[in-house]
Amino acid sequence: MTSKWLAWTPQSEPAKPTELAPFNLSGHAVEFERNGARHFLVADEADAQRLIELARLSRGEIWTVAEVDLMAAVPDQAARDEIAQWKRMFNGVLRPDRFNKPHFRKETKRR
């Protein structure tokens, strides 16, 4: 006896995966929890200010995409945790260094 599945051939081409549209965070906020603390991810400073006004959140709880990119450049997890703690404690905003100091590059020696 021959199985009908062994002789099966597809009747059409398999579906090709479609290109996903890039995720647009503008005008939205994503809530996440890290180490028991609640945080929000927004697209930019304008969205951060809107979220502060609407939800009465502190700026220390809100992260912009640019701030997350800056944190990703810090190679040391302990340093990232400390920066996040200071940001939350002082309702801080992370910005790139305007003087281009090599704070977290390999050639910088930690004290």
- Using CA atoms, how far residue 48 sits from 18, 24, 76, in Å, is 32, 15, 26
Q: What is the mean pLDDT of residues 42-60?
A: 95
Give the Cα separation of 76 and 105 in Å (integer). 11
Q: Which of 12-16, 85-89, 94-98 has the lowest mean pLDDT?
A: 12-16
Q: Which residues contact 81 (CB under 8 A, 6 or more apart)?
A: 35
The backbone region for 38, taken as left when phi is positive above 0, alpha when psi lies in -120 to 50, beta otherwise, is beta
The answer to whether residues 65 and 47 touch, using CB atoms and an 8 Å cutoff, is: no
At 12-38, the pLDDT tens digits run 776 677 776 677 889 999 999 988 889
